Structure 1
């Protein structure tokens, strides 16, 4: 039975000392390492912002860095507004202490939480979406995991100091677990309280829930698994640093989108452009919310990787998409683009209509479109024009929009 959660936040752990990597990284803690012009923790923040359902982020930094990092995160949000609430808090001596501090910083009413290591900057929106879907289905603890390809042996050292094999484990039963890990907030808080009371020392939060389940075998507590991704690696060793500088071919690509909607009568859908309601505008005849600009933008994004058109993915014959928020549909398409290696660079959007006047709303539309795309607002251009009373738009019968998106695709 589905039990949708109301409010889901992510805790991004960036409080580690990174001692194993310090020498190779020039003394820089790995969460602060730069990749494509941004520190690793911000790459994770961007990915979370592209997943519908994530409402906010808690960044956990070392105690001595909190003041400086709060200013830095604020600067990031000013230049690249992710459209999420956020908070910063100090970490603790151990990873589990940092998670506990992050849980304490969550807002009241947050009933779902994703805990993520910032040293995994390549996590995809798809993985996060699968985790959230599992929570909505009623799971209370979910982890992404991949099968272990190697034969794993348990070893021990004898009295002479020689290490030897004690047991060969069945790799068909083994999984390598990744982050983010998703939990019902109340369950994870209960697990942390039990860990603190009993003095547990664990390497991940799922381990706490596993121990909690062992303490209460009849409580129906379990840790579910969704498919992880081999590319969701953790930057831990000097060898891993090569992934940050890995040479890949990057090609420019362009997508073009066009959409039209007819004006309606009283009782049809209110006018929304780029996710921004336009008070006093004409109504729209549409199956979804009728956002002509976001529909054109979605088609343009699909064009950057040959993804077809919005009607293919979200047909107007499907009752599930009746009245659908076009911003949510666009985020789904952006996740598809990300999975193919597409990185958006610029968007140029044109609204073509006789009514209403678009100029008073253009700034708000640009800001919201930039938020949805994960771009700085100066890379999203919004303009409007009439057709000099010609055609159906000139006769005030409808509205249309054109979108052009520039992107880079890694192949």
Structure 2
């Protein structure tokens, strides 16, 4: 049975940041970024515990250790955790953490504290490959810039060669490893005075296969001052809206039954001022809710002769014109008809297709279903039908 622990590297000096505050203590969501990284890793279901690697100097270690206890009390990892002193080099810090792991541990995920945006999903994908027998698994993203390998020639920097960027990946953390193999790789590196920028390199040097999975573009490492903008609250110009629409029509009128703009053949007719399309009416109510515009009774009063027997498709076009002006974009529409009769399953695809055309959104963003109330209530007695629409939309600020 594989036993996974995580390691958070938070012992670095962060010299490239050139900031008064060491980068592991920079704030994100009112917490130091090293704790954000630890919290994200702690949500990985397979993890049994976390090792926090803190600065090696005694005074700073005590400060960081006390800070961890305060943070744990406020926002718990809900996992066992250990605190160890780091070393002079990243490699030394990793080795200190590896030596502190319990004997039951078989695999480890090593994560830089300066990557507070890595998702739980990414770690789960790494673990899956390790569970399938992998020795080492690292995430990487495609390189968008052209990379030049350089060389110095008489005091000038020249291009030596240009690697094919399709064969290059920018590597991230967390990185996952079999513990025994990684320990052996670190031991060999120490014996041969090899310093590497990540643990995967040490595994490569020992001949182990290192698998790369797709990384995440949002998994940014806070390294230089230009990266500090990612820690600031981002202004979200778009607002998610969720809305509900409901309408009822009685049978026994003189309007043919139309649902979603589709004529339903048969003897069923409805009472209505307009064309009585109960489905489009509830759809319009939901859409108008997204822009705080009340309902169709306000926009199209049923005592206005202009709207007598008017097509609901025409009314919907006016609603959509208004919502377009407000900057509303529909994301998904779920529609339900409740009726004992008639049977509507044969018309499902036609209704979805027509509503898709009316809304100008793809069919896969629309769902339609019909149900009964098991002969209960007015729909069960075939006195009428009702429609319910739920939708999600995005409103620009």
The separation in 2 between residues aligned to 1:184 and 1:103, in whole angstroms, is 11
SS in 1 for 2:6: strand
Higher RCO (CA 8 Å, separation ≥ 6 residues): 1
1:125 to 120, 126, 129: 120
TM-score relative to the length of structure 1: 0.57
Which of 1, 14, 33 does residue 26 from structure 2 map onto? 33
After TM superposition, give the deviation of residue 68 of structure 1 in Å.
2.1
1:66 touches 1:88 (CA, 8 Å); kept in 2? no
State the match for 2:96 in structure 1: 101
Unaligned runs of 5+ residues in structure 2 are 243-330, 335-396
Q: CA deviation at 1:82?
A: 2.2
* Alignment correspondent of 2:87: 92
Aligned runs of 1:195-234 on 2, under 5 Å?
Answer: 195-213=189-207, 221-234=208-221
**Two-structure CA RMSD over aligned residues (Å):** 2.6
| Structural mapping, 1:239-250, within 5 Å | 239-245=226-232, 247-249=234-236
The 1:252–1:107 alpha-carbon spacing in structure 2 relative to 1, beyond 3 Å, is farther
Partner of 2:267: none
Larger Cα Rg: Structure 1 or Structure 2? 2
2: CA distance, partners of 1:252 / 1:41: 30
1:172 to 158, 162, 166: 166
Quote how far apart the aligned CAs of 1:108 are.
1.6
Kindly report which structure 2 residues correspond to 1:38-117, keeping only aligned pairs within 5 A, or say none: 38-64=31-57, 65-117=60-112
Length, aligned pairs only = 248
8 Å CA contact retained: 2:55, 2:64: no
Provide Cα deviations, 1:25-69, integer angstroms capped at 9, x if missing partner: 3x1100010111000111111111211101111111111222222
2:310 aligns with none
Provide the rounded CA distance (Å) in 2 between the counterparts of 1:150 and 1:54.
36
Quote the Cα distance in structure 2 between the aligned partners of 1:133 and 1:53: 10
| 1:8 and 2:1 correspond | no
User: What runs of 5+ residues in structure 1 fail to find an aligned partner?
Assistant: 214-220, 255-304, 309-410
Aligned with residue 17 of structure 1, among 10, 13, 16: 13
What pairs with 1:283-302 in structure 2 (closer than 5 Å)?
Answer: none
CA distance in 2 between counterparts of 1:68 and 1:153 reads 43
1:252 CA displacement: 8.3
Paired with 2:41 and 2:126, the residues of 1 have a C-alpha distance of: 12
Q: CA deviation at 1:81?
A: 2.2
- The yes-or-no answer on 1:189 pairing with 2:183 is yes
